[in-house]
Structure 1
């Protein structure tokens, strides 16, 4: 498959250019945070975590998964039926998380979300260590969690809320409320359909993939499922637009407007 063999809609062409540019930037220095900017003030409040680093890491994760889809389609020239949607799901989650971190105008809320992300990271890391039977190096999870709780208390944030439930769906709901204003398709819908692919759910695969019937005996139908290039490229464009908003917010927060 190549650009010549598969029609690429204008929005997808623009998305591919952005993805390639972002991927090239990923090997360079992280854009610096300007003194006097929103993120400069955020980072000063939580210097051991840094809101700017957390947000840019999320954006970078989104770019990596987007570039993997681009590489599959236009470098490896492979049209997998399911795998690209799992990659897009990861990109939607990462871009949505970056927007969730950067979107609030309140510094205290941005810090709260950064602390919540840090707690989730420590908690899930400890869960893995327990399951794998390994002993993490460095400070214990208990010590790190207490540091997060202390930071929350210092900034007037409820530590129990910071160390509470984590929900990707709630993050994406926030993204839709911030960006879409009731318009479709929503980040939640995009994530849901990609999650359906990631978990092998028939409602997603049968609803989105192209079907070729091989045989039918009574109610039993043998079909071949294949990905639609048009659908996949449109979803790639939508996920790229979400990532572009994450990058826009990062630029807005890192530049001083004084």
Structure 2
């Protein structure tokens, strides 16, 4: 249990302060996209999808999950063994996706990624509707896909590539290559570890959690697993660092540099 956030290491305290600021900011309307900025040009090319909206939505998702971890630790004052890592996994994915959308210097490439994200959303939505035997309340799936394909063609992109395979792991590999800055495979490492927790994989839980042995009979060991406060806070800090990179990139793209 964490009782006092003032006792955490300075780098974690900085992360907590940043998360609070972001949480307040994301409760307000999104920051204005300035005329003449990179994102204003992107949005003009795909006004029905808007690259700026897609990227900021990813950022707000990351912040929401980070704030949930903070609330668990310092407001509910409880450290779950597994749940915080699932929340961090979602934050890593969302922050990584924002960076993936915004980092390319090429407008055509930013548009391609925005269209690809839109197709993934439409495709997964249809999978759910089919599984639940529900009928769409809005435009038919085929019409929405065709709009994406038409936009791809309009901007000189391969519609089959835009409407092709989606890979979170490939996105995060790109993120590490693009914004590494001495952090190695930070995004991929965080995501892999947190995914291990989310899926209940022993390699992750036994590797990171603290173990208390209760009994052992032959090869059968009874242990109690509990979260390491130090590991969890460091992972929270690193995920906040990744989210900060996404926010900085968003602010760079949305402002006009004269």
TM-score when normalising by structure 2: 0.98
**Paired position in structure 2 for 1:54:** 54
Secondary structure in 1 matching 2:250: helix
Offset at 1:235? 0.1
Is the contact made by 2:42 and 2:107 (CA closer than 8 Å) also made in structure 1?
yes
Residues 6 and 229, structure 1, Cα contact 8 Å, conserved in 2: no
Judge conservation of contact 2:5–2:74 (CA < 8 Å) in 1. no
Q: What pairs up with 1:200-239 in 2 under 5 angstroms?
A: 200-239=200-239
Per the alignment, residue 44 of structure 1 pairs with 44
What residue is the counterpart of 1:70 in the other structure? 70
Contact preservation (8 Å) 2:215, 2:222: yes
Partner of 1:188: 188
Match of 1:159 in 2: 159
Q: Is the contact made by 1:112 and 1:152 (CA closer than 8 Å) also made in structure 2?
A: yes
Give the gaps of 5 or more residues in structure 2: none
CA distance in 1, matches of 2:25, 2:150: 36
Change (3 A) 1:6 1:197: farther
Q: State the 4+ residue runs in structure 1 displaced beyond 4 angstroms.
A: none
Asked if 1:132 corresponds to 2:148, the answer is: no
Measure how far apart 1:2 and its partner are. Answer: 3.7
Is the CA contact (8 Å cut-off) linking 1:59 and 1:247 kept in structure 2? yes
2:78 equivalent to 1:82? no
After TM superposition, the score normalised by the length of structure 1 is: 0.98
Other-structure match for 1:12 = 12
Distance 1:76 1:160 in 2: 48
The equivalent residue for 1:24 is 24
Q: Comparing 240-249 with 6-15, which one deviates more in the overlay?
A: 6-15
Q: Secondary structure at the match of 1:138?
A: coil
Cα 1:245/1:115, change in 2 over 3 Å: same
Tell me, in whole angstroms, the C-alpha distance in 2 between the residues paired with 1:5 and 1:250.
29
Paired residues of 1:96 and 1:242 also in contact (CA < 8 A): yes
Q: Identify the residue that residue 123 of structure 2 maps to in structure 1.
A: 123
Deviation string 1:74-107 (CA, Å, 9 cap, x unpaired) is: 0000100000000000000000000000000000
- Deviation of the 1:181 alpha carbon: 5.2
Measured at CA, do residues 225 and 6 of structure 1 come closer, stay the same or move farther in structure 2, by a change above 3 Å?
farther
Aligned to 2:144: 144
Is residue 36–residue 256 contact of structure 1 (8 Å, CA) maintained in 2?
Answer: yes
2:134 is paired with a residue whose SS is coil
In structure 1, what is the Cα distance between the partners aligned to 2:173 and 2:89?
15
The residue number in structure 2 matching 1:198 is 198
2-structure distance, mates of 1:192, 1:27: 30
CA distance in 1, matches of 2:239, 2:233: 10
Q: For 1:86, what is the secondary structure of its paired residue?
A: helix
- Is the CA contact 2:3–2:77 (under 8 Å) kept in the aligned structure 1? no
Further displaced range: 184-193 or 144-153: 184-193
